[in-house]
Each structure stands twice: as C-alpha cells, then as structure tokens.
Amino acid sequence: MPKTNLFSRDIGALLLVVLVSDLMVGCASNKPQINMVEEETFATIETFYVEPPLNWGNVPVENHIMSTITAVMQNKGLTPVRKESADIEISFFPSTALKESGNSMSIGLGTGVFGRSSGISLGSIFSVPVGDQVTQYQNLQIDIIKGGEFIYSAVGSAKLESQDSITIQKELSELVHGLLKSYPEEPSIP
C-alpha cells in the first residue's frame, strides 16, 4: 500500500475517533444526584414549608422555584403550612455556572520535505473557534429537613439553551420535578 494512502487512512481514523468522543461528551446527561435517609418513615409526613434562599436576589426565579416545589409536594399528597407547624422544611439553593467548552479546530498551513532521518517544515498554525464557546447551566440543590436533620437531598443542573425568561422557567420546572421525583408519595387513604 502506498504511504500516502496509509497516512490518509490513519488521519481519517484519528478524526473519526475525535469526532465520536466529542459527541459522547456533548451528549452526557446532567443526571441528578439524590440521597435520602432510608430509615425515615415518609408516610408520617403530612405538611411542609418552603424556605426561600438567603441572599440570592433573583425574586422572579426564586418565586417560580418555590411555587414549583409547592406544586410537586402537593401532588405527592402533602399540605403547605406556616413554618411553625410544618413537619418538614424544604430549602433550595439555586446558582448559575458558565462552562467554557474550548472547542476549536486547529488548521495548519505549510509545506515540508521529510527525509529518512530529518524533516523541514515551514508554515503557520492557527485556531478557529467551532460552535458555542460558553454554555450556561442552572444548578439547584433541594434539601428536606425534619427536626433539624436532613432526610432528603437532591442536586442537579439544567443546560440553558436560551436566555429568555420563558425558556429558563421551563428548564427550572423540569429540574425541580426531576429532583423531587424520588421523594415518596403519601399513601392514598381508601
């Protein structure tokens, strides 16, 4: 086989490996991390209070998260009450993060003469950005506390595809639902 065909095949295989690994990393999910106290009798919990986060400052997002948590917990059979009479307190900690993807494609231009024992290469190499360089994530931690003890904790994040408020609200709603999905539902009374 001529050297040029072997070289072209090796470069093609290398590019294919890089492309597939980039796709796999790009498709990795932000699966929530959920932990709960197994010994807890969740069936005895009937009421809850949602505690707003301290010093966060984005009131519309804070209110949206609080109302979504309230709706999810009501769907599980619990009743919202004042803090003093709640069986559990639910606290949440939202934050945003930016992740630089660093995706770029290097292009080399030049000429070269390669001998058996030495090589000469002339030219320049420059880098061209490919795709989005910064991705924004909305992180959220939800903790459920009973009698001063954590009984349920969930952490997750949502990739924000758009910066408009409606899309962000939708992503946050899905994130809250995902984080509270494993919280046990109250058994229905026959």
User: What pLDDT shows up at residue 144?
Assistant: 96
Query: Is residue 149 in a domain?
Result: yes
User: What pLDDT shows up at residue 32?
Assistant: 85
Query: Is residue 16 in a domain?
Result: no
Q: 133: domain CATH number? A: 3.30.160.670
pLDDT digits (tens, 9 = 90+) for 26-54: 333 467 899 999 999 999 999 999 998 87
Q: Which two tokens stand for residue 57?
A: 């400052």
pLDDT at 9 over 90: no
Query: Is residue 9 in a domain?
Result: no
pLDDT band at 161 (very low <50, low <70, confident <90, very high): confident
Pairwise CA distance, residues 41 & 99, whole Å? 40
Q: How many domains does the chain have?
A: 1
Containing structural domain, residue 94? 31-106+127-180
Query: Is residue 2 in a domain?
Result: no
pLDDT digits (tens, 9 = 90+) for 164-182: 788 888 988 999 999 999 9
